[in-house]
Structure 1
Amino acid sequence: MDNAQTLIAGVPVLTNEPLSNYTFTKTGGPADQLVFPETVQQVHDLVDYARVNHVPLTVIGNASNLIVRDGGIRGLVMILTHMHEITVAKNSVTAAAGARIIDTSDAAGAAGLSGLEFAAGIPGSVGGAVFMNAGAYGGEVKDCLASVEVISRSGELHTYTASDMHFAYRHSIVQETGEIVLSATFALKPGDAKAIRAVMDDLNARRRAKQPLEYPSCGSVFKRPVGHYVGPMIQKAGLQGHIIGGAQISMKHAGFIVNINHATATDYLDMIHYVQDHVYAKFGIHLEPEVRIIGEER
């Protein structure tokens, strides 16, 4: 592996870098070129570089709800986790795309602002949370988002309101446009900081009790079909604990696939297809992945 430091648009580049070093599943092939921009200007310059030089550009948040196939990603991969500033105003919080939504929720709670409690245990970045309208425990990003700053693949900056984002279940318009989230502002309500913290602590305790946080995983793998819960369906299909390669359907929560023994992305994808086939055979319901799957086969 050659990680000699070169520069693209003034940003240091890692070459042929295994994305398994960054994904929450600890799987995934190499990125041809990997960059960590620290400013909006650097993002703009990298977008321009990719467009002018006809280089494929893939943007990743903190890779918590992501499977990168074992062949990796060609072209330029941009991870935004070095853009993590969070600022609190009177009744709002603004966070850069690479900030963790957990940290954003914590900052809001510490300032006595309510509305982001649901996100206290979501491991994704703010950009990723906006991208997929992340949610938990009855709350979603769409419920408290005020505005989003994005950059288009042609380098134009735009501000979207929540209504502009066309939010739906695990969906936003930037999934279709390819625009890159730079920051988000959340409109919140004044509350008691101790009471807010108590709610967040309770949600985190419930998460720890129910979810297999002790193993690498991409979180909840499948979207919830209307009128059904994924975990119980997988259990009733007799799949809980099933192992393919190093990947296992979690014994703690059947909606999770965990990396128990050096799993590959192919193990994960084979398990996803295995679950889909068996759940469809038993219930006639096709489970749609919630996890984002990108990259090339080996």
Structure 2
Amino acid sequence: MKEWMKEIQNANVGIVKINEELASHTTMKVGGPADILVEPDSLQSLKKVMEIVRKHNTPWTAIGRGSNLLVHDGGIEGVVIKLGKGIDHLEENGDKMVVGAGYSLIVLATQLSRKGLKGLEFAAGIPGSLGGAVYMNAGAHGSDMSQIVTKVHILFEDGTMEWLTNDEMKFAYRTSVLQQERPGIVLEAELLLEPGDKTEITDQLKKNKDYRRDTQPWNHPCAGSIFRNPLPKYAGQLVESSGLKGHQVGGARISDMHGNFIVNAGGAKAQDVLNLIQHIKGKIKEEHDVEMHTEVEIIGRESKE
């Protein structure tokens, strides 16, 4: 076993698993093993893990609840840091709150609606964590995280920690400064909600949740929307108009319910999903002359098989 693995195992930082299959940690249920997976039990433990990572110059990747994520069959080299229990605190101060990155977005949206605070109704049914939602500026129903985030606490690759303002996060459609320009881990975020009518807020939340349930295949393992919408066109409509609904490669199938979803129909490999993505891109380019770009984050190393 490598020295850095031993150090992490002995560091008393939370749950540590060697050669852990990431299919167990993604909503699509595909993905090879992580060299080592760590679920830190506190922000202090996370900092300790990052100190070891920096000391040994070890590659690292952060994940949340594994939605909007496709992990290659070869898994992920180095340390995979899963932000969940231990990084899921919630500190409330009226309509302003600081929320840990591991906090469930669905649970948070539900709790806030019951308090009569509006702004997160769009997140009803989004099966991710607060950290992942901020990282990619998750959104739906005409709103997104940029509308309610005031500042974000980030742990950067060099070990420094900094609060970035909403402007500094450079939020745009399904992206932020963290995806390319300044890679880092979302530790927590400050949100500002608006007081509103509790009945109206909870009704809107239910309406959004019902819409998602009725139009998207969350009863099958999937990663959420595969492609960004090439506005003013919509990815799902382009897939459907190309006659691709139900098309299957290996265990990966385009949902019959929504063209922008690929589901694991049973025993799918990441390569099946990737091959299907390429097929969709080619078909839509050929028929509509539109370049499709993935919204789902694709990470890891390709299988050697």
Q: Taking structure 2 as the reference length, what is the TM-score of the superposition?
A: 0.94
After TM superposition, list the pairs within 5 Å mapping 1:46-65 onto structure 2. 46-65=49-68
- Among 162, 167, 190, the alignment partner of 1:163 is 167
After TM superposition, list the pairs within 5 Å mapping 1:139-158 onto structure 2. 139-158=143-162
Deviation at 1:8, TM superposition (A): 4.9
- 1:23-58 Cα distance to aligned partner (Å, 9 max, x none): 000000000000000211111111111011111111
Q: 1:159 & 1:84 partners in 2: Cα distance?
A: 18
Q: 2:229 & 2:10 partners in 1: Cα distance?
A: 41
Q: Which amino acid counterpart does residue 218 of structure 2 have in structure 1?
A: L
Answer whether contact 1:88 1:108 (CA < 8 A) is retained.
no
* Structure 2 residue 230 is the aligned partner of structure 1 residue 225: yes
Q: 1:13 & 1:204 partners in 2: Cα distance?
A: 34
Task: Name the Cα RMSD after superposition.
Answer: 1.4
- Among 261, 277, 282, the alignment partner of 2:282 is 277
Q: 1:9 & 1:132 partners in 2: Cα distance?
A: 31
- 1:74-123 Cα distance to aligned partner (Å, 9 max, x none): 11110001221223221123210011111221221122111111112211
Q: 2:257 & 2:250 partners in 1: Cα distance?
A: 19
Identity over aligned pairs, percent: 39
Answer whether contact 2:31 2:269 (CA < 8 A) is retained.
yes
Q: Which amino acid counterpart does residue 246 of structure 1 have in structure 2?
A: G
Aligned to 1:66: 69
Aligned to 1:10: 12
After TM superposition, list the pairs within 5 Å mapping 1:239-250 onto structure 2. 239-250=244-255
Aligned to 2:291: 286
Cα–Cα, structure 1 residues 77 and 281, in superposed 2: closer, same or farther, change >3 Å?
same
Aligned to 2:3: none
Cα–Cα, structure 1 residues 109 and 93, in superposed 2: closer, same or farther, change >3 Å?
farther
Gaps of 5+ in 2: 1-5
Answer whether contact 1:80 1:97 (CA < 8 A) is retained.
yes
Q: 1:194 & 1:200 partners in 2: Cα distance?
A: 10
Q: 1:5 & 1:212 partners in 2: Cα distance?
A: 42
Answer whether contact 1:48 1:154 (CA < 8 A) is retained.
no
Cα–Cα, structure 1 residues 34 and 105, in superposed 2: closer, same or farther, change >3 Å?
same
Q: 1:100 & 1:159 partners in 2: Cα distance?
A: 21
Q: 1:47 & 1:237 partners in 2: Cα distance?
A: 46
Q: Which amino acid counterpart does residue 131 of structure 1 have in structure 2?
A: Y
Q: Which amino acid counterpart does residue 228 of structure 2 have in structure 1?
A: K
- 1:148-191 Cα distance to aligned partner (Å, 9 max, x none): 11111121110111111001111101112111100011111111
Q: Secondary structure at the match of 2:151?
A: strand
**Aligned pairs, how many?**
295
Q: Which moved more, 1:72-81 or 1:89-98?
A: 89-98
Q: Taking structure 1 as the reference length, what is the TM-score of the superposition?
A: 0.96
